[in-house]
Amino acid sequence: MVETIRNVIIIEDDLEFALLQKEMVNKSDNYFCEKIYISPIGFLCDEEIKADIILLDILMPNMNGLEAIPKILQKYKNVSIIINSVQDDTETILMALRLGVIGYIDKQNFDVYIYEVLNSIKNDGAFMTPKIAKKVFAFFNNKQRKLNILTKREREVAIGIIDGLSYKLIADKLSISIETVRMNIKSIYRKYKIHSKSELISMIYKGE
C-alpha cells in the first residue's frame, strides 16, 4: 500500500535553522516540507497551504508560538503541532501541552530526535525528548507531593486554581458555593504560608 506524503510546515524565525529542519524532514520517507514561515502570522494568512504537521518555534516576534497554537488549531482541526524551541522551562512546556501540541523537542537536540518524532506521529503517537519528559514528570511528582498536605476538597480547589479556573468555574465544577471555594483557598494559603494565586502557581510549577 502506498503511504500518503504528509506535508510539514516549519514556522521558525531563524532562517538558517529552518532550512536545516527542512533538509532533514525532506530526507525522511513520506514527509515533505515545501514552505517555511518566519512568523505564525504569515502562515495563518496563507489560505492555500495544506498542513499535516507543524514544527513550531516559541520565541518569535509579532506572535509567539504559544499565542499561535489555538489559532492554528482553529484553522486546521487535525494538524499535529510539534514545538521545537530553546524555551524549555516547565511552565512553558505544560502550557504548550495544555494548548494541544503533541510533541516537544528542545531545539538543541532536533537533529537527534526529528526522525523519532515523525515516526511517533505516523503511528498516532506523541513525543517528548528525554530532557522535556523529565521536566514534565518532575512537575507532576512535585505537584502531588505539594498537594498531599491538603484535604481532598482543598486539593480539588488548588488544582482548579493551577488550571486557571475562576472561583465561579471551580464552584460549578465541584458543585459547591463560591464562598466555600474562598474558605478553602484561605485554608490553602494558610497551610502554605502564601498570600496569592500567583504564589501558589509558582510554588507548584517551580517547587518554590
Q: List, as one string, the DSSP characters of the chain.
A: -PPPPEEEEEE-S-HHHHHHHHHHHTTSTTEEEEEEESSHHHHHH-SS---SEEEE-S--SSS-HHHHHHHHHHH-TTPEEEEEES---HHHHHHHHHHT-SEEEEGGGHHHHHHHHHHHHHTT--EE-HHHHHHHHHHHHHHHHHHTTS-HHHHHHHHHHHTT--HHHHHHHHT--HHHHHHHHHHHHHHHT--SHHHHHHHHHH--
29 and 131 in a single domain? The answer is yes
Tell me: do 94 and 192 sit in the same domain: no
Instruction: State the total domains in the chain.
Output: 2
Q: Determine the average pLDDT of the residues in 147-168.
A: 90
What's the mean pLDDT when you consider all of the chain? Answer: 90
Q: Are residues 122 and 154 in the same domain?
A: no
Q: Are residues 24 and 109 in the same domain?
A: yes
129 plus 181 within the same structural domain: no
- CA gap 10, 43 in Å, rounded: 9
- Same-domain check for residues 67 and 133: yes
pLDDT digits (tens, 9 = 90+) for 23-47: 999 998 889 998 999 999 999 999 8
Does 142 map to a domain? no
pLDDT at 198: 85
What percentage of the chain exceeds 90 in pLDDT?
Answer: 61
Is 166 found in the same domain as 111?
no
What pLDDT shows up at residue 207? 53
Give the domain range for residue 182.
149-206
Across 185-207, average pLDDT: 84
Say yes or no: 69 and 163 in one domain.
Answer: no
pTM score, whole prediction: 0.74
112/153 same-domain check? no
Residue 13 — very low, low, confident or very high, per pLDDT cuts 50/70/90? very high
Residues 32 and 116 in one domain: yes
Q: Does one domain contain both 45 and 133?
A: yes
- pLDDT class of 3 with cuts at 50, 70, 90: low
Average pLDDT for 17-23: 95
